[in-house]
Structure 1
Amino acid sequence: SIDAVKARGFEKVFADAILDIPIKTFRSMLAFHKFKSLYPEIPMFMGIGNVTELIDADSVGVNAILTMFAQEIGVSVLLTVEKSVKAKGSTLECKVASQMASIAKIKNSPPKDIGLSLLILKDKRLYEDIYKDGVDEVIYAFDEDKPYTLDPMGIFKIGIDRENDYIEALYIGRKGKILIKGRSTKAIRYEIASKELVSQISHALYLGQELAKAEIALKLGKNYLQDVPLFKKPQFIKF
């Protein structure tokens, strides 16, 4: 206990309590709060990896709310880990969240509209209006399988080199096998066009779609599979 440690002559004490896994997290946070109430002068350490790693949810929201709770309790140091794929980026997320929490505390107001945010997958406001006046015809397009012909110039296999942070487009066709590597859709698109590796508009549109998916997957840490949707809606159990 703290009293026993102090009795031995230790003056600089750091409390390293355990934050329990989800299903027990709230109870352990109450223990953190109780300890801080009893020993307000002693800095506390909180490892939040037990929660972030053991819940199948995007880490950014989990890290944000845990960091806010830690600030309210009076925790001095946070420990996060990036052991699993889904927790990659947690260090940056916690750093931003801690700055947001500090600003919110100083301003005594919620952590919104403060110049920092962790809005990665969603936005606060939508700006989606396009020019519609004077439209001659409205065509509604629906997802459905339609016949298509292969581009006689060749095909592309799209992938990700995650270790080196590259998008890859492997061309196989009349001009041989060419591997194009780049860090953006724009860069790869330019190389494909300049080398005239496509001859059909439909093929070019398809490549733009798949390259954009690969770029988003690389940035977010998502799996990328050609011709497979990048996102899916959460599913709930129907009773």
Structure 2
Amino acid sequence: MKIILRKNKDRIHKKDAWKKSAYSFVPYQTHFGELCGFADDIVEAGQGFGMHPHQNMEITTIVFEGKQAHKDNTGSEGTIDKNCVQTMSAGTGIMHSEFNASQTEPFHSYQIWVYPKEKDVLPKHEKYLFNSDDKLNKILLVISPDKRNNTAGINQDAFFSLLELEEGKSLSYFMHLPTNGVYIHTVAGKVLIENNELNTGDAIGIFETEKVYIEATENTHLIFVEVPMTKGVNLL
């Protein structure tokens, strides 16, 4: 088992008039396997990102508080809330915008970038809806390459999962593919992962193992991103 700790202080923190962000990676420069972007954004009411392009990237949006309004040049538009995840295959190229759907409250979301397995596919979006209880004290798979259990699809041998683990509870995460690694981010709370303490904003990357032991020392929310490790690890 190989372990890489990524503490909150190791992230790139930025703040402006309408957005507070923390970045775990610099896309196209740093990565954990095929994972190359992990942006933690809090966006003020009515604010957001205007139309901008992406190409040949698998982009996932996970909202933890509030609602995000999404629109793109394929005609797709809608909102994403805390009971929904959205995947976007940018493929040959797509333009899209993302805004806080509320005029009164901020929203908190994660945008996660994974390199594609196949380049230049047709751009598309997919969503997976769930109930909050679905991830209480059990790992909820929300994204998979084969759309198993009606999850959202992704153009990579990657698996995304969510977990809300109550204080004192423990469980193990089992790798979906033996050559993959998993990057686990602490959205909120305090947790022991393979005897490494993680607090809010901390993360841990683990590979060359079949399972990972997790124990919550406080009520904790986690994001799991399991990816192929063919690119190895390169962090700042």
TM-score (norm 1): 0.24
TM-score (norm 2): 0.24
Q: Which has the higher strand share?
A: 2
